Chain A
Amino acid sequence: MSNPLIHIEHIARTYEMGGETVHALRDVSLDIFPNEYVALMGPSGSGKSTLMNILGCLDTPSSGVYTFKGLDVNEMTDDDLAEIRNKEIGFVFQTFNLLPRATALKNIELPLIYSGISSEDRKERAIKALEDVGLGDRMLHRPNELSGGQRQRVAVARALVTKPSIILADEPTGNLDTKTGIEIMKLFQELWSKGNTVILVTHEEDIARHARRIIRIRDGKVESDTINPNPVTSFEIP
C-alpha cells in the first residue's frame, strides 16, 4: 500500500470553558490514504468538526501526532499551516462560507490570490472550475443571487481550484434540501472517481452511505472504522 496522506496518532483536543475542560477529542488514531472516500459519522457534538479542523490544519491538537504527507504538522509554523490549507486542502462548509460581496468568480479566485497566481491565470482557472461544477453561466452572480445548491457548487469549485490533495467537507448538505443534497453528493462521487481524496463529515446515514469507508465517532473517540460494503452509486432523485 502507498504511504498515507494523513496519519494521526492518539490525537486529543480539549477546550477550556469557564474553568471546565471540554474533551472534544480523546485519543483518535487514523490513517487516510490517497483517493479514499471517507465519511466521518457521529451524532452532534461528538467531535467531528473538531477532527476535521485538525485534519485541515485550521486547528492543532492539544496532544498527539499528526503527519501530513510525512511531515510533522506539530512542527509547523502558522505560515506553514496557511500554506498547507492553501495548496493541499479544499474546504467545503455547511454554511458555504462564501464572501457575500464577491461574485462567484471572485470567490473562486480567492485561494489563488493567496498562492500568488497572476490575475489572468487566476481568472482562467476560476472559470474552468466554475464550468466543472456546471455554473459557467453564473460567473458574475453574487452569493445572494444564487440558490443554496448553487452556492455550495461555488464552494466546491473554490475548494477544487487549487487542485488540493484532500477535499474536506463538513456537513456539506446540512443546509440543502434532499434534492440539492443529492446533486452535491453526485459531485463528490465524480471528484472521487477522478482520483481525489474526499473526507465527508456528516451525522446523516443517507449521506454517509455514499462513502467507501465509514468512521464512526462518539464522545471524541473512534467507535468503529469500517469499509462500506455497498456504497450508493445511483443518484436518482426520489
Chain B
Amino acid sequence: MIRISEIQESFRIAFEGLQANKLRSFLTTLGVVIGITFVILMGWFLNGLDAALESTVNLLGTDVMYIDKWSWSGGQNWRKTMQRKNITYQQAMEFCNSVKTAEVSLPEAHKWGTTVKERDRTITGISVIGVPYSYSQLPAGTILYGRFFSQFEDEYSTNVTVLGYGVAKALFPEGDAIGRTIKIGGRTFEIIGVIIKRGTMMMDFVDNQVIIPISTFFGVYGMTGRSISIAVKAGSAEKLDEARAEATGLMRSIRNVPPGQEEDFSINETQTFKEQVETLRLATWGIGIGLTLLSFIVGIIGIMNIMFVSVTERTKEIGIRKSLGAKSSSILTQFLVESASLCLVGALIAFTFCSVVIAIAVRLVPEADFLTPYVPPQLILIAAIVSIIVGILAGIVPAIRASALDPVEALRYES
C-alpha cells in the first residue's frame, strides 16, 4: 500500500526536479508536446467534422432520399452509370403520383455550374434547381427570410427565385435581397426568399444554388436531355426502409427493369455523406495516428533516457530514502510520478500551443466554421490521460531499476 504522504512527497520531488532542470525538462518533453499537439489538433478537426456532418445530415433530412440516375457515392462503375437512360420528367411524375409510403415526393431538375448576374456582378459555379412549390416541405427548402413560391407561381411559370444562403450572402451581404432582381439563364427573376444556411465545409455547394419553379426551369433550359432527380421524404427515419423498398419496386416497374436485372437508377441517402466523411475521417486518423505514434516513440525514448540519468544521479538519494524506510513501491511511485509529471507538463505546453494555433486558424479560414475556436474540453481530458500513460510507459523501466537498487550499494554510491 502506498501512503498519501508518499504520493505527496513524490509530487514534491517531481516539481522540485522540474524546476531545477527547466531547460532539460522542456527539451525532453518536446516529443510528447508534439505528440499531444497531434492528438489535440486531430481531435479538434474530427470533432468539427462530426458537427458539420451532423448539421448537414440534419438539414438535408435523415428521412430524405434522392432517386437519381447517378450515385452520390460514385462507387459504381462510371461507364455503366453513363449508359443509364435519363430519368424523364414523365417518369418522375408517374412515380410521384403513385408512391404511397412517402410524405412528400417531388421532381427536381438541375442545371449545374451556371452563372447568375446581379446588375454588373456575376457569380459562377451556381446550380439552378427547378422544383415544384411543395419543395418548401423538405428540410432543404426551409426559408431563412422571405417566402417560398406558391402553387400559383409554380403553375404559371413565374420568374421568381429563392436564393441559397451562399448566393444571397455573396450578392446581398446586407440581407436586402427580397424584391431585388437577378438574371438567371439570361432572364430576369424576382427574389422572393432566401434558404437557411445548410452546407458546411465540403457540402458548401448546397448553399450555392438558386431555386426556381420547375415549369419556369423547363421554359429556360428545356426539358429534354436532362435527368430528373426525385426527392422522397419518408416522414421519419424509421419509415425509410419501407419507403426505399416501395421506391425501388415502383421505379423498376416505371423504367421496365426486368426481374433479376440490376437497377438502372440509384437511391441516394444522406447516409452517403456519412460514408464520404468517414473516408476523410479515416485519412485524418491514418495520418494523425502515424505522426502521433512516431512523436510518442521519440518522446518516450527521450524521457526514458532522462529518467535513467535521473535515477543514476539520485542513486545516493534512493539509498538514503531506503535506509529511512522507503519501500521499493515508494521509490517506484516517486519515479513514475516524476516521468508522468514531465509528460503532463508537455501536455500543458501542447495545450497552450494548440489553443493559439486554433485561435489563429479559425480566424484565417472563416469558411471552416464547423471547427470550434477553442480546444474542446473532452480533448483536454484525453490529452492529460494520454500524457500520463506515455509518462508511465517512459518511466516504468527506469523506475523499476531505481526501486530494485540494493540499499547498501546505493548508499555507497558517490557521484
Contact = CB atoms under 8 A, between A and B. Distances in A.
A97 B320 CA distance: 6
B324 A78 contact: no
Contacts, number: 75
Contact of B324 (A53, A86, A116): A86
A93 interface: yes
A85 interface: yes
A55 to B, nearest CB: 12
A113 B406 CA distance: 21
Interface string A82-108: 110111000101000111010000000
Nearest to B322: A82
A113 B322 contact: no
Given A101-B16, A116-B4, A122-B5, A110 B407 contact: no
A236 interface: no
B114 interface: no
Q: Which of A56, A91, A99, A113 has the most CB of B within 10 A?
A: A113
B3 interface: yes
B359 interface: no
The size class of the interface chain A forms with chain B is 20 to 34
A118 interface: yes
A59 B324 contact: no
Nearest to A85: B325
Interface stretch (B269-277, B278-286, B326-334): B326-334
User: How many of chain B's residues touch chain A, expressed as a range?
Assistant: 20 to 34
Contact of B327 (A58, A91, A114): A114
B323 A58 contact: yes
A85 B324 contact: yes
A44 interface: no
Nearest to A50: B408
A113 B320 contact: no
Given A114-B330, A116-B5, A117-B5, A86 B325 contact: yes
Given A58-B408, A99-B317, A113-B9, A78 B323 contact: no
B325 A111 contact: yes
B16 A82 contact: no
A92 to B, nearest CB: 11
A88 to B, nearest CB: 9
B321 interface: yes
A115 interface: yes
B6 interface: yes
B400 interface: no
B73 interface: no
A79 interface: yes
Contacts of B411: 58, 93, 97
6 contacts: A79-B328, A86-B324, A87-B325, A114-B324, A116-B6, A119-B5
The list of the 3 closest CB pairs from A to B, nearest first, reads: A86-B325, A116-B3, A114-B325
